[in-house]
Amino acid sequence: MPTTITGLALLVVLLLPGLTFATVRDRKGSEHRPTPFRETGAVVFCSVLTELAALAVFAILRGLRPDLTPDIGRLVREGATYARTHYAELAWWAGGVLIFACVLAAIAASITGKRPHSSVMSAWWIMFEKWFPGENPTVGCILEDGSYIEGQQASFNVSSDDSPDRDLVLVEPLKYRAPGATETHNVPWGAACVSARRIVTMFVSYPPDPAEQEGAAAAPASAPAA
């Protein structure tokens, strides 16, 4: 760990793109808890990669328009003397390169964080997000006391762990069958919260695909008459 203010500031600057990547990835994707080693490695790797890409872009600009960019050769040779004379230009370009690296990290997180691999996600995420993303399917749950509840899925816990300590929110139209009963009845409530700990079996009915419905409706009309 750095022991001076300068070292701490340098560490923050170096890791800022990686922290941006981790923050955007967590907001865009599902909650996933990697090991501290993997999380640290991802932050450091992303920081190094995006900052190298930003420096490569700066090098290209330096070759194309040397009059608009700081002279890194003089900065290396003269050190503090050159920095005191051109401190404003150096500060603006350093901030611009850092912001560009953070933007690259955010774009990478937006692309990679949307569709995590199924092997690290929960069964709920696979049923509700991977197979039919953006849809609100009809969900029926048999509970441990033998009762049955059915409704439209409105919200679920996106954690990657199949933990019993999470809830599923169903909204109207709601149907319920009491324990020991044989018929399911509509209930007048607007929403229901079902604990995963009480669910024994879950059934999911997805909305029909509009494209398939249009194709099925057009098929008889396009068939030649006998």
Higher-pLDDT residue of 127 and 99 is 99
The pair of structure tokens assigned to 155 is: 């919200």
Identify whether the C-beta of residue 63 lies closer than 8 Å to the C-beta of residue 71. no
pLDDT tens, residue by residue, 173-226: 999 999 988 889 998 888 999 998 899 999 988 877 655 555 555 555 554 443
Higher-pLDDT residue of 30 and 66 is 66
Higher-pLDDT residue of 125 and 205 is 205
Contacts of 54 (CB under 8 A, 6+ apart): 97, 98, 100, 101, 104
pLDDT tens, residue by residue, 94-116: 888 889 999 988 888 877 765 55
36 in helix, strand or coil?
helix
| Mean pLDDT, range 73-86, rounded to an integer | 82
| Mean pLDDT, range 109-134, rounded to an integer | 70
Instruction: Tell me what pLDDT residue 34 has.
Output: 65
Which of 138, 208, 206 minimizes the C-alpha distance to 175?
138
Q: What is the pTM of this model?
A: 0.52
Contacts of 183 (CB under 8 A, 6+ apart): 177
pLDDT tens, residue by residue, 142-178: 999 999 999 998 888 777 667 778 889 999 999 999 9
pLDDT tier for residue 127 given thresholds of 50, 70 and 90: confident
